Structure 1
Amino acid sequence: MICAIAELESDRHPLARRYDKKTKLLTIGLMQVAPKVAEWIVREQDYLLFPVEDDPDILYRPFVNVYFGASYLKWLSNFDGKSRSEEFVVRAYRGGGARKGNHKSTLPYWKGYLQVKECFQSRKHFDGPSPIEAPTSPASPSSPTKGDDLYWDTRVSPEDMEQMWNHPDVCKEWTKSKEIRGNVRFSCDREKRPYLSRVELRAIAEIIVSKYFSTRGINPAVLCALADIVSMRFIDGDESSTGLMGIDYSTAFWLYTEMRYRAYQVDYVENLTNPFVSMYFGAAYLAWLSEYEGRERSLHFIFQAYIYGPKSVHLEETCPKWLKVEQILSRYERTISRQGSCNII
């Protein structure tokens, strides 16, 4: 509970500071403890270990801040002499008091807390996330309705759409199919499942690599080949994985919180059905695998680790999908090499 709240309140920054103009309440530190709350705890609850009244700035010290944050949580858990639920305690903590324990304004915070807590519980510190072990995530309250999600502009940001229109091959393809700005359709199969053309996939990979991974030596062709293998270019993924790159929610959230890949947010699992978001976290995971355990890794290792997890790699055994990947990769490499790309991974 403490770890999840610290994550939400301060993004784990011990010097974080927030001032609410409406309530005129100042909160500081890892758990965003208000100095006046800490002073009240010292006076009323006899927590005398830290002299916060004499020096409020000690709340910037991580141990002190967590001490008072935990003390406040303990008090809320038995508010008014009654044993309170975890939901009440968390919502009251965020709301600034017990009266907000059941208030509608603190419900989104509770949902966010559940997501973060689940990721903390499932996190593997030494092996990183497992691609096949994904916690559930609350559905986005603004998920597009069926039909609307068959259009690019309902899933992708205006900035990313502008990048797509500026890509010469994409512009040529979309112009030929008579797409118009603000109303670009996805290609769909017979079951109305949206997928990317190879031109669109290659463009997204090139945009993501050039904007966010230009110094990492990542080859866009490798990302394209992985997408072809993992999802067959379906932007919602397949039955066993989520999104274009098959990155599940727990992996994306781990990359966001622990590895600091924060160009895109992952508040909901539906965020990963945005092809740019999925490609970004797929590239981030590939970059992490390329230096797994501090060693430079081969493409063969990276591929197996991406699909099965780094602890399940057996390079001495024949991987049934490896030959297929080599064929697909060579196709994309021929296309991208004509445009001057010379990356390695």
Structure 2
Amino acid sequence: MSVSFKYWDECADPEDMEAMWNHPEVRTEWTDAGETEGQGVHLSRDPDGQPYLTQTEMRAVAEIVTHRQFDTKLDPEMICAIAELESNRQPLATGYDKKTNLITIGVMQVAPKVAEWIVREEDYLLFPVKEDPDILYKPFVNVYFGAAYLRWLSNFDGKIRTEEFVVRAYSGGTKKVNHKSTLPYWKRYLQVKECYVSRKQFDGPSPIEAPTFPTSPVSPSKGFDLYWDSRVSSEDMEHMWNHLDVFKEWIKSKEIKGKVRFSCNKEKKPYLSRVELRAIAEIVVSKYFSTRGINPTVLCALADVVSMSFIDGNEASTGLMGIDYSKAFWLYK
């Protein structure tokens, strides 16, 4: 029987739900979304209908787990960045490694065999993963085992290891830490983690004061700038309309060709929906980088982290991807 979750309450224990509601940023995000404490909290879903954790939820889970079970000795940003790369924060994500014959599960893509080994090694009996491996689909359980593995790697073979060693070993195993196959993963990790750290600094020291909706861009857009057609070429608009998921979303919101509105927050600052962002990434990769092995999902994750999908960026970045003029000019040259 396949695993499926519609509500947070189906994949988190009452204690975990209480901790989430007590997290100021999560409470604000959930309340703004119309969720009510004591009732089922809906999981967000991507264009394919797969549930995912928002960045606020992912960070909260990482912070709660590290504080509760690792005495904050692990970096929550490391956990968030790895979850971003491994699964795009999808709790039902699964993978399979043909070389090791291992199945991986959940937001941090933990292998059940690795989780069983951690239970034996740490004598941690709270999660009976051997009897019920499906519990690894639960975010709190998955993050615990992923974090436990990271901690073990950080002291592998009795030596204090570098962050690069830990991350590359998490991706390819301890024998491939210095192999070229794990280097791209390390580089992508640094990019994603830097964005998480930058966002944390921008959010400010107090989680109560941190913004919970896409961070405000430098200056609000007005008038015609709130329409797609004022910022996008007719050719690109045609590509967008021809994208099935975008077409469905725009028709549902009663958009018409020639006058498609951007989604805006309460301050009338435009941002891209996940469907729109994914479509742009797929179109750009298809047009310009089809032979470069660039993953549109990674581009979406970076845009989500850098600007929270605000078109004009925020105070810590320029535009969706944080590319300022000097960097764009250098790339052009």
Give your verdict on TM over 0.5: yes
The gaps in structure 2 that reach 5 residues or longer are 97-103, 208-333
1:47-88: CA deviation from partner (whole Å, max 9, x where unpaired):
xxxxxxxxxxxxxxxxxxxxxxxxxxxxxxxxxxxxxxxxxx
Classify the secondary structure of the residue corresponding to 2:164: helix
Q: Which residue number in structure 2 is paired with residue 153 of structure 1?
A: 9
Provide the secondary structure at the position in 1 that maps to 2:91: coil
What is the aligned counterpart of 1:333 among 174, 197, 205? Answer: 197
Listed one character per residue, the Cα deviations across residues 246-269 of structure 1 (whole Å, up to 9, x for unaligned) are 111111111012222344332312
1:311 counterpart = 2:158: no
2:118 equivalent in structure 1 = 255
Please show how residues 1-80 of structure 1 align to structure 2 within 5 Å: none
Matches within 5 A, 1:230-249: 230-240=86-96, 241-249=104-112
CA contact (8 A) 2:105 2:136 kept: yes
Report 1:288-303 matches (<5 A): 288-303=152-167
Paired with 1:318 and 1:262, the residues of 2 have a C-alpha distance of: 32
AA aligned to 1:329 is K
Structure-1-length-normalised TM-score: 0.53
1:330 is aligned with what amino acid? E
Does structure 2 conserve the Cα–Cα contact (< 8 Å) formed by 1:261 and 1:284? Answer: no
C-alpha contact (below 8 Å) 1:301/1:315 kept by paired residues: no
What's the counterpart of residue 208 of structure 1?
65
- State the distance in 1 between where 2:113 and 2:206 align: 35
Structure 1 residue 315 displacement after superposition: 6.2
Name the aligned partner's letter for residue 214 of structure 1.
D
The amino acid that maps onto 1:250 is K
Instruction: Report deviation, 1:191.
Output: 1.9
Name the amino acid aligned to 1:195: Y
Residues 1:152 and 1:318: Cα distance change in structure 2 (over 3 Å): closer
Separation (CA, whole Å) in 1 of partners of 2:136 and 2:122: 17
Assess, with a 3 A threshold, how the Cα gap between structure 1 residues 299 and 285 changes in structure 2: closer, same or farther: same
1:218-260 Cα offsets, whole Å, 9 max, x none, are: 1100000010011111111244331111111111111012222
Q: Which residue of the partner structure matches residue 274 of structure 1?
A: 138
- Residue 189, structure 1, aligned to residue 53, structure 2: no
Flag structure 1 segments of 5+ consecutive residues without an equivalent.
1-138
TM value normalised by structure 2:
0.55
CA contact (8 A) 2:51 2:90 kept: yes
Secondary structure of the 1:321 match is: helix
- Tell me how many residue pairs correspond in the alignment: 196
Distance 1:340 1:263, change over 3 A: farther
SS of corresponding position for 1:202:
helix
Does the CA contact (< 8 Å) of 1:237 and 1:246 recur in 2?
Answer: yes
Q: Distance in 2 between matches of 1:247 and 1:304?
A: 15
How many Å apart are 1:189 and its aligned residue? 1.2
Larger mean Cα displacement after TM superposition, 291-300 or 315-324: 315-324
Give the AA of the match of 1:212.
Answer: Q
Deviations 1:102-160 (A, max 9, x none): xxxxxxxxxxxxxxxxxxxxxxxxxxxxxxxxxxxxx7xxx76x5xx111111110110
Q: Which position in structure 2 is the counterpart of 1:126?
A: none
- Mapped to 2, the partners of 1:198 and 1:326 lie a distance apart of 17
SS in 2 for 1:150: coil
Computed over aligned residues only, the root mean square deviation of the Cα atoms, in angstroms, reads: 2.1
2:91·2:107 contact (CA, 8 Å) conserved in 1? Answer: yes
Look up the equivalent residue of 1:202 and give its one-letter code: R
